[in-house]
Amino acid sequence: MPLPYMKTTTSTPHDILRFFIYYDTKAKEFVGVSIDVGIVTTGENPYFVERDLTEATLGYVETVHKEKLPLSLLHQHPPQKYMDIFSNFMRTTSGKKAPQSSVAYTFNDARTFVKHIPDLCHAIG
């Protein structure tokens, strides 16, 4: 059953949030991106990046719900450069060729994961 504050989009089910972590070779740090709410975190350890990203997203979703803020706030995207990197990663993992450019990131340690909103935020489910 859809949650009343989440809209269904063509790319994301209504109660799932997508996350992506990759290594930025130029900055020499891991970057975590919450694709559906536009939060970005960085750090030296991918496990801490995941934890911080998940906690920040949880806080964001809880605040929108608790304060009855506009539902559109739950459908933000990170800056375009992160969406481009995410798209390249998804093309690469699906066997398609990603555009060649002088990239400053590697997908060797990259991963994507999802969180079910009611599992992430028990007060909402």
122 vs 32, higher pLDDT: 32
26-80 pLDDT, tens per residue?
999 999 999 989 999 999 999 999 999 999 999 998 898 889 888 788 888 899 9
* Its pTM surpasses 0.85: no
- What would you report as the CA-atom Rg of the chain, rounded to the nearest whole angstrom? 15
Q: What is the pLDDT of residue 75?
A: 82
Q: What is the pLDDT of residue 73?
A: 84
pLDDT tier at 125, thresholds 50, 70, 90: low
Cα–Cα distances (Å) from 110 to 3, 76, 88, 89, 124, in that order, read 30, 22, 11, 8, 30
Cα–Cα distances (Å) from 10 to 7, 14, 33, in that order, read 10, 10, 19
Q: Which residues of 73-106 are buried (b: 16+ CB within 10 A; e: fewer)?
A: ebeeebeeebeebbebbeeeeeeeebeeeeeebe
Amino acid at 60: Y
Amino acid at 74: L
73-121 pLDDT, tens per residue?
888 889 999 999 998 888 888 776 655 554 677 787 888 899 887 776 6
Q: What is the pLDDT of residue 49?
A: 97
Q: What is the pLDDT of residue 38?
A: 93
For residue 122, pLDDT over 70 is answered with no
Q: What does the domain layout of the chain look like in residue ranges?
A: 16-120
The Cβ of residue 65 has, within 10 Å, a number of other Cβ atoms equal to 19
Instruction: Give the SS3 label for residue 65.
Output: helix
